[in-house]
A and B are shown apart, each in its own frame.
Chain A
Amino acid sequence: MKRKIELSAKTSPKIKLLRKAFFALAVDPFLKGINIRSRASHLRSQLSIEIEKALYPLKPSKIHGQITDFDLYGGIDISNSIKEKELTKRTGIFGNPSQFIYLSMSERIGSSLAGKICLAIDKRQTSYVISLDEGLEDERTPYSILDRLAFAFDLNDERQLQRINLSKIRDNLPEIRSRLCKVRISENMKNQFSITALSLGITSLRAPIFALRTARALAAIRGKSFVSKNDFVMAIQLTLAHKATQIPRMQEPQKPEEEQEETNDTKNEENSDPSEINIPQEMIISAIESTLPKDVLGEIKLLSPKKDTLNSNASGSGQRKLGNRRGSPKPSRKMPFDTSKRLDLISTLRSAAPWQKLRRELHGSPDNSIIIYKDDLFVRQYEEKSDRLIIFTVDASGSNAIGRLGEAKGAIEYLLGEAYANRDHVSLIAFRGTKAEVLLPATRSLVQAKKKLADLPGGGGTPIASGLEKAVEISITARNKGLTPTIAIMTDGKANISLEGQVDRKQALSDSEKFCMIIQNLKIPAIVIDTSNRPQQPAKDLAHKANAKYIPMPRADAKKLSNAISKSSNEFHTNQ
């Protein structure tokens, strides 16, 4: 062990922590696993090898997004049974103690697979779960899985890996484990885990439990029978920092106005009184801060569970355009058959029929038998109509706000209600001042949309180009996920801020025209709602360039508006 530490003098603190996490995992399997966020790179491939070595003799069993129930739960191998004329069974990944679960591309795991994995974790049908998140930007491992794993690391900025050698620990495992349940921990520390978790905005109660167990494991590894300050701090770094959704001590200004927090805050301070507790709050916070990435606030926003789950939900419901159960029927096709699919018997027979004579001779079967090969099987397919996504792009600039922002809000609210009835997804972008902001990524949660809308302030310049840019971005990602986007732009069309955020009417106009062309080229159905007092040319031009429908916002008639929007998006739907 000593030699290793010398070697690792140059390695970054994060990699050292990663190693500790593996140590703790080896000692206490209850900690369940690690989520590692890393894009495909040399380091990642190295890491995979290291992990396999570290967890040996357990073997990795990969779970990917398209895995079947048969692979997960096992069962009777039908094709093999028929071939061997003997019942052959196969065990699934769950419930196999000699394997650990390796989730590759965990950011792509849909909600239903995530549900199965979570259930397996809860029922202790799995050993370790190592989840490799290769996501870009805001794609994340489903929150339900993250919540059930003790550790998470983002290795995108790391260059050098350190060997994770667990042999020392493995050799002494019985001894360390026997020590583990005797490790003592002070009451204050125990409480502090819960307090810290709450001050970091972690509502789930799994996190502080993981922290407590990690602290014990770390102490046991050091051969001690009590948890030291160091163990305590490291446990917090390992288990709580990555789940944080807010930064402690910065609470006051950015806290939402919820009364119950106040009581917590006061308690928090009482408890963090140094005379009462042997670990100063500063120390904990600085420990956490050191493990947080540089772009703390940005990261934290991404980490907040709400947004994350929304994403996973959206991908889950839109991705699967070709179902095999629901929707309108499509021609069936040859494909590997399993029990989750429906066999198209007629097509199967039809494809097997021409070969019957040959096959009978080949197998020496009687004339009245029908011999069907695996390749003959046709599977029924259904096409689900993909969900619609309405991207509201709202002009909240001064020119607009004074006039009719309130009315626009009312109209959107009405449209949201419609969207709810149609099970549409909605997204909300507002542009004002120098740039646009995505207030709400694609979601079905209307309560959130409503909240965001109500909080939307008005005033400032009119950066239409920036708003359109965001709308196009969302449309493209939505299409990739199988949704059908429609952009609804509510503006008076008087662009005066360029894409760069400069006050330059000319540039602003040409920038916004550029994006109109993109919208036209991508054939994204769009609609421009003129919110100026009287129908005016700029908005009309905008609509024309984007090949969008133009509607002057009717006075206090949200219903008309909604009809117009659904009509324009439906037209596109059928045209395509």
Chain B
Amino acid sequence: MRENFPFTAIVGQQEMKQALILAAIDPSIGGVLVLGDRGTGKSTIVRSLASLLPKIRAEENCPYNCPKINNQCDFCKKKKEGKVVQKTSPVVDLPLGSTEDRVVGSLDIEAALKNGEKNFEPGLLARANRGFLYIDEVNLLEDHIVDLLLDAAASGENLVEREGMSIRHQSKFVLIGSGNPEEGELRPQLLDRFGLSVEVKSPENIDERIEVVKRRDEYEVNPKKFLRIWLPEEKKLREKILLARKLVKTVTISDQILKKCAKLCVEIGADGLRGELTLLRTARAYAAFNGRKEVEENHLQEICLPALRHRLRKNPLDEAGSDVRISRAVAGILNS
């Protein structure tokens, strides 16, 4: 398989890249929703994550990417000895129009036909365990599939009850959905369940566009050389992520900052408490990424747009962007 385009070589799209990094540092932030035009490099960025992220140690051949032989999944149960290998962090594509079978898994027809055994054939949710699940055009995906995915993403488990089987397996992944809002909107119930939401635009700066084409061309002409050039950058970022992952558990957050989180959510009128929780987790991950031990106010300021943008109770026809409303609330609360 050819190597992906390096993450660090992608021009622009800073907000999206940062959101993905933060979600990689702390998966409990929840999924990332990417809204924007086509051909802006959304897919490229997501796929390049696979090579950027630190490799995971996992049982060879285990379809669930178990860290080692345990009695958790039905693959490992059957095995006595395991062999732990380094696997690239899974980034699984879920095509639009996937059936439920392919997503959650279904009866293993091969085994059923051959040996008359009733086995479970893991689906995409199993493959994405401990990694990322990417859905392009999530806004066009059928609602019941989206619902299913969000359930699995939130609980970290996939529960399958079908064809006479009852299976439960681990499915911890970061959901990344992308879409173009002009083609159809995502229901607010689903919107709210994504942790972060970013907006991408195709770069309008001509120099940036030229740079994109040039880098892409360099990569296509000689991928090996291109990857070699970008290797140090990739490595640097990877180490930074690894460090942040260790650090994030120890980052503290003061009551004062928590209070501001809550105030912010009340001010913009976000429903439920997901807003506060996401703010808290994201700010922590951001602090860790910057090597800090405590969440500071400017950290909060940096991440509140992606964390809150999609939580506004919004008149669908109101064009005044949510960004403006959030910035106003932020200005009022954080700088007071």
Contacts and interface: CB of A to CB of B under 8 A. Distances in A.
A113 B136 CA distance: 13
Interface stretch (A168-176, A306-314, A509-517): A306-314
B41 interface: yes
A123 B93 CA distance: 10
A444 B184 contact: yes
A431 B212 CA distance: 45
Contact of A445 (B47, B97, B114, B182): B182
A445 B202 CA distance: 20
Interface in A429-448: 444-448
B31 to A, nearest CB: 19
B117 interface: no
Contacts of A490: none
Contacts, number: 156
Contacts of B102: 69
Contact of B97 (A116, A213, A450): A116
A24 B152 CA distance: 46
A193 B210 CA distance: 8
Nearest to A183: B221
A205 B213 contact: yes
Query: Which of B39, B106, B216 is packed against the most chain A CB atoms within 10 Å?
Result: B39
A195 B206 contact: yes
B136 A205 contact: no
A48 interface: no
A159 interface: no
Query: Which of B180, B182, B202, B214 is packed against the most chain A CB atoms within 10 Å?
Result: B182
B109 A78 contact: yes
Contact of A115 (B2, B97, B206): B97
Interface stretch (A290-298, A412-420, A491-499, A528-536): A412-420
Interface string B18-58: 00000000000000000001111101000100000000000
A520 to B, nearest CB: 33
Contacts of A198: 204, 206, 209
Contact of A116 (B38, B96, B180, B181): B96
A506 interface: no
B255 interface: no
A204 B202 contact: yes
Nearest to A425: B184
Query: Which of B38, B216, B316 is packed against the most chain A CB atoms within 10 Å?
Result: B38
B315 A417 contact: yes
Interface in B89-104: 93, 95-97, 99-102
B122 to A, nearest CB: 15
A143 B38 contact: yes
A34 B205 CA distance: 29
A87 B110 contact: yes
A174 B2 CA distance: 21
The size class of the interface chain B forms with chain A is 35 or more
A303 to B, nearest CB: 14
B217 A268 contact: no
Contact of B206 (A268, A309, A326): A268
Interface in A100-116: 110-116
B144 A87 contact: no
A340 B93 contact: no
B189 interface: no
B317 A147 contact: no
B316 A208 contact: no
Contact of A119 (B39, B41, B93): B93
A267 B207 CA distance: 9
A174 to B, nearest CB: 18
Contacts of A212: 213, 217
Nearest to A265: B206
A193 B96 contact: no
B273 interface: no
A191 B51 CA distance: 29
Contact of A193 (B99, B140, B213): B213
B185 interface: yes
A215 B192 CA distance: 46
A325 B101 CA distance: 12
Nearest to A306: B182
B183 A310 contact: yes
B317 A339 contact: no
A82 interface: yes
A194 interface: yes
Nearest to A267: B206
B302 interface: no
A458 interface: no
Contact of B114 (A87, A122, A417): A87
Interface string A107-149: 0001111111011001110000000000000000001100100
A190 interface: yes
A305 B95 contact: no
B136 A118 contact: yes
A382 interface: no
A122 B113 contact: no
A435 to B, nearest CB: 27
A536 B2 CA distance: 72
Contacts of A207: 39
A326 B144 contact: yes
B23 to A, nearest CB: 22
A266 to B, nearest CB: 10
Nearest to B217: A212
B184 A194 contact: no
B213 A112 contact: no
B137 interface: yes
A554 interface: no
A203 B39 contact: yes
Nearest to A197: B209
B40 A205 contact: yes
A194 B206 contact: yes
A209 interface: yes
B125 to A, nearest CB: 17
A212 to B, nearest CB: 6
B183 A309 contact: yes
Given A111-B137, A444-B184, A450-B317, A147 B95 contact: no
A325 B205 CA distance: 46
Nearest to A420: B316
A340 B317 contact: no
Given A87-B114, A309-B182, A111 B206 contact: no
A447 B182 contact: yes
Interface string B155-194: 0000000000000000000000000111111000000000
B319 interface: yes
Contact of B204 (A110, A193, A260): A260
Interface string B109-136: 1100110000000000000000000001
* For the complex of A and B, 6 pairs with smallest distance between CB atoms: A204-B39, A112-B97, A115-B96, A203-B202, A194-B209, A194-B210
28 contacts: A76-B110, A111-B96, A115-B95, A115-B96, A116-B96, A123-B93, A124-B2, A144-B38, A147-B39, A194-B213, A197-B209, A203-B37, A203-B202, A205-B39, A205-B41, A205-B203, A205-B216, A208-B209, A212-B213, A213-B217, A264-B204, A271-B206, A316-B140, A339-B99, A340-B99, A416-B316, A420-B185, A450-B319
Given A209-B217, A445-B182, 17 more contacts: A78-B109, A111-B137, A115-B96, A116-B96, A116-B97, A193-B213, A205-B213, A205-B216, A208-B213, A209-B216, A213-B217, A317-B184, A326-B142, A339-B101, A413-B317, A416-B317, A447-B317
Interface of B: 2, 37-41, 43, 47, 93, 95-97, 99-102, 106, 109-110, 113-114, 136-137, 140, 142, 144, 180-185, 202-206, 209-210, 212-214, 216-217, 220-222, 315-317, 319
